Amino acid sequence: MPVFALTPLAWTALRLGMVAAVAVYASRRASNPKDVAHERVLDGLPEGVSGHSHSAAAERAVHGAARFRRVFRLPKGAIEVDASGLGRVRLRRVA
């Protein structure tokens, strides 16, 4: 009978150990410094969505940029959300 009583405890300990291992891994992974040049480019984007296309002899491409920046006022303070991104879609003929 004691073997069956330890089984739920063992699964709980294993589950908590895995959660702790993932938390340690994530905290070490998140401590890397950000690239300043990339941050400056994203901070320099205008707010809104923009895009342009161009065609060359061998390919066509569409480049796009977007930035969303809002401040949400809460009873205990405010939260600023700043989301920005760059993208490209390229089409080429492959023979």
What are the tens digits of pLDDT across the range 32-89?
A: 667 888 888 888 888 999 888 888 777 788 889 999 999 999 999 999 999 998 888 8
Q: From residue 66, give the alpha-carbon distance in Å to each of 19, 48, 53, 62, 75.
A: 35, 6, 15, 13, 29
- Beta carbons within 8 Å of 47's beta carbon, 6+ residues apart: 67, 68, 69
Q: Number of helices (H) and strands (E) in the chain: give both, helices first.
A: 2, 3
Which tokens is 67 given? 């930035």
If asked whether residues 81 and 49 sit together in one domain, one would say yes
If asked whether residues 90 and 64 sit together in one domain, one would say yes
Work out the percent of the chain whose per-residue pLDDT is above 90: 24
**Would you state the pLDDT for residue 75?**
93
* Element at 84 (helix H, strand E): strand 77-92
**Would you state the pLDDT for residue 8?**
77
Question: Using CA atoms, how far apart are residues 65 and 68, in angstroms rounded to an integer?
Answer: 11
If asked whether residues 46 and 61 sit together in one domain, one would say yes
More confident residue, 7 or 3: 7
**Would you state the pLDDT for residue 31?**
58
If asked whether residues 41 and 18 sit together in one domain, one would say no
- Is pLDDT at 6 greater than 70 in this prediction? no
If asked whether residues 25 and 41 sit together in one domain, one would say no
User: Helical H runs in 30-95?
Assistant: 36-43
Count: domains in the chain: 2
If asked whether residues 79 and 54 sit together in one domain, one would say yes
If asked whether residues 7 and 39 sit together in one domain, one would say no
Q: Note down the domain range covering 19.
A: 1-32
If asked whether residues 64 and 91 sit together in one domain, one would say yes
- The answer to whether the beta carbons of residues 24 and 9 sit under 8 Å apart is no
If asked whether residues 54 and 12 sit together in one domain, one would say no
Work out the percent of the chain whose per-residue pLDDT is above 70: 87
